[in-house]
Amino acid sequence: MKRKIGGLSICMLMIVAVLPIVGAVNSHNALPAASTLIGIKIVAEVTYVSDPHNLLGGSIHANDTITGKYVYDTTASDTNPDPNTGSYRFSSPPCGFEVNAGGFVFKPDPNAIDFNILIGNDIAIGGYPPFDIYGIASENYLPLSNGLLVTHIEWALQDSTAAALSSTDLPTTAPILTDWNDENRVLIDGESPSNPDHVYRISAHVTEATKPIAINVSRIGNDLSMPSIALLHSDTHPFTQFWIKIFERFPHAFPILRQLMGY
């Protein structure tokens, strides 16, 4: 968690100002106990952008930094009978893969989640030496703010030494990027809603993948169709938890405080 001089003083002033609100949040939207959901945050550097029809308006360029997160249930079952390949599919929120790039939010449609994780351990094809793969792929996205369609997002990792994985079990930790020596690429594909031949593609190299962060799903009012997701840091200090609840209840409030605390 980021710390800056003067941050504590500002935080204390904020506590005095909004303490009564927290009681209301706790009494009406109490978070359930930690579930089997985890989230992984990633940071990536754009390597190239293909947008011949300028659909993105020049908002994303090579060397830009993009961020994302994906959420999944660690108790999901492997649906692939191949002992060297594990396939895990998720079809309900909050599971999915979300990316922020160039001022756009590439967000899965909560009513049509189609998110898959593929784990390949010691895969041997066509006489080539065994290799490991870790892949996530997501379909069914909401349109971008400018109306563009998002058709597919994926992240693929490959290790030609077959040393990155020891099984096809669904990982409960973030990928260690240095273990994957052959491939590390995020691809974002989309198209114009009026002309499917007008397409764009963004490619990026992941530079950071955090350790898992606990997920709690809470109710906002009586709306259960769009559960809010609180991405919780491992720090369980009451001071931190206090502000996590505030940030969850007021997602657009306190931008300076968010920056000071690293949220």
Instruction: Give one word for 168, left, alpha or beta, with left for phi > 0 and alpha for psi -120 to 50.
Output: alpha
pTM score of the predicted model = 0.70
Same-domain check for residues 21 and 134: no
The domain tally of the chain equals 2
User: pLDDT digit string (tens) for 133-150?
Assistant: 999 999 999 999 999 999
Could you tell me if residue 226 is inside a domain? Answer: no
Instruction: Kindly give the pairing relationship between strand 65-73 and strand 85-90.
Output: unpaired
Q: Are residues 15 and 102 in the same domain?
A: no
Q: Classify residue 194: in a domain, yes or no.
A: yes
pLDDT interval class at 31 (50, 70, 90)? very low
Cα gap 26→18, rounded to integer Å: 13
Lowest-confidence segment of 55-59, 75-79, 168-172, 211-215 by average pLDDT:
211-215
Same domain, 49 and 173: yes
227 in a structural domain: no
Contact yes or no for 66/100 (Cβ under 8 A): yes
Range of the domain at 241: 1-29+235-263
Are both 82 and 9 inside the same structural domain?
no
| Stretch 37-58: mean pLDDT | 96
Phi/psi of residue 171, nearest 5 degrees: -65, 150
Sequence-ordered strand ranges (E) for the chain? 37-50, 65-73, 85-90, 96-101, 104-106, 114-123, 131-139, 149-159, 183-191, 199-209, 213-220, 223-232
Nearest to 62 by CA among 48, 50, 51: 48
